[in-house]
Structure 1
Amino acid sequence: MTMDSEDILTIAADWLAAGEAVAVATVTSTWGSSPRRAGSRMAVTQSGRIAGSVSGGCIEGAVAEAAQRSIETGTPQVLDFGVTDERAWEVGLACGGKVSVFVEKLA
């Protein structure tokens, strides 16, 4: 069962209120075969806690790493994964689709 985006934001807000540094990743667009639709979210803490999903597993590791960088730098990022990316095969996006993910630190 996948949590909806509001649940993820509630969890992220709770983590933030508890003193955790948190970033949220949001799927902004998809094309072709993609396990999650636009609007899907994943929250990541600096200590490594994760809630939600942006891909059903195939790019979560790369997105979590980017979330850690955004937490450290405060700089938002747009990540693009697709079948034409060399990185797509590295992170396991062999489904033939494309996905864009926006990552930002919560304040």
Structure 2
Amino acid sequence: MSDSEDILATAAQWREAGETVALATVVETWGSSPRPAGSRLAVSGSGRMAGSVSGGCIEGAVAEAAQGVMASGTPRLMDFGISDERAWEVGLACGGKLKVFVEPLA
């Protein structure tokens, strides 16, 4: 089973247990990016997480957006990127850019 399949299986288990779940997927990357396109993060309504979309540098913002997506039912496309000059300062040391699609898991 691949990492992606493990994340989807975990998300399915959470749903079966009655939790709300959102799935975040890296859909595009530019330059140096900590995780490749296709990387996934599952977030439960209780705050559990499985997988990764960034190696940690933007995970908190994505998890927070996932809570909003679960509450509203409306998917969201998020853009992340920073200039090389400010990359270390804000924790995105890679200096790359990425887009993450966050959707509720039905």
What TM-score comes out, normalization by structure 1 length?
0.89
Identity in percent = 73
Q: CA RMSD in A?
A: 1.6
Q: How much does 1:92 deviate?
A: 2.3
* Larger Rg computed on CA atoms: 2
- Give ranges in structure 2 of 5+ residues lacking alignment: none
Q: Matches of 1:26 and 1:90 in 2, distance apart? A: 25
Structure 1's unaligned 5+ residue stretches are none
Supply the AA of the counterpart residue of 1:12. A
**Structure 1 contact 62–91 (Cα < 8 Å) conserved:** no
Structure-2-length-normalised TM-score: 0.90
Aligned-pair CA distance for 1:15: 0.4
CA distance in 1, matches of 2:80, 2:23: 17
Question: Which 4+ stretches in 1 moved above 2 angstroms?
Answer: 88-92
Structure 2 CA distance for partners of 1:74 and 1:89, relative to 1, 3 Å: farther
Q: Do the aligned partners of residues 75 and 38 (structure 1) sit closer, same or farther apart at CA in structure 2, a change above 3 Å counting? A: same
